[in-house]
Amino acid sequence: MTTSVRVTLAVAAALLVAACGREAPQTSTNSTPAAPPNDPAHQALAGPHGDHTPHHTGLVLMQGDVHYEVVLKKDGRHQIWFSDAVRSDLPASVAAKVTMEIARPNAAVESLTLAIDDNGEAWQAGGRPLEGEGAMVKVRFSLQGEPHEIEIPVVAASLR
């Protein structure tokens, strides 16, 4: 082995040993860490879109980076809550034109126009009691000017 190859290998080995003892450089970000999810079973899911646990006993869905939680209640009082990518609550005013259509077996479709609650936290409406299986709820709203629509089958066990 020539002297220049030995010197090159020695320098490379020295650099490798020096680099292995260093910590990785810290990168700066402007974002703050997300709060862990409310339930203990999902504490490790604090990243964006990691937490889909209901915060208001409803069904959590997504539209882009916004989560929304649809709460259907037996007594006919329904709510929709909005949160960001890491599930921090957003004011209800992030959405507009929020409606529900409830199609029950052997009954006329019930149309509800939701309104923002007194605290500005959720959209709500009162309708006929909702019970049993077989009903479909169509939720519509506008988010950042874009319309969104989804149909949700009613599962009796999920009603509050």
Per-residue pLDDT reduced to its tens digit, 29-58: 333 444 555 555 444 555 555 666 777 889
Residue-wise pLDDT for 92-117, tens only, equals 999 999 999 999 999 999 999 999 99
How many helices and strands, by DSSP H and E, does the chain display?
1, 9
For the chain, give the mean pLDDT.
Answer: 77
Q: What is the DSSP letter of 106?
A: T
Could you state, in order of their start, the residue ranges of all structural domains in the chain?
Answer: 48-158
- pTM here is 0.68
Instruction: Give the length of the chain.
Output: 160
User: How far, in Å, CA of 108 to CA of 27, rounded?
Assistant: 58
Q: Which CATH superfamily is domain 48-158 in?
A: Periplasmic metal-binding protein Tp34-type (2.60.40.2480)
**Residues 60, 65, 68: CA angle, nearest 5 degrees:** 25
Question: Could you give the 3-state DSSP secondary structure of residue 97?
Answer: strand
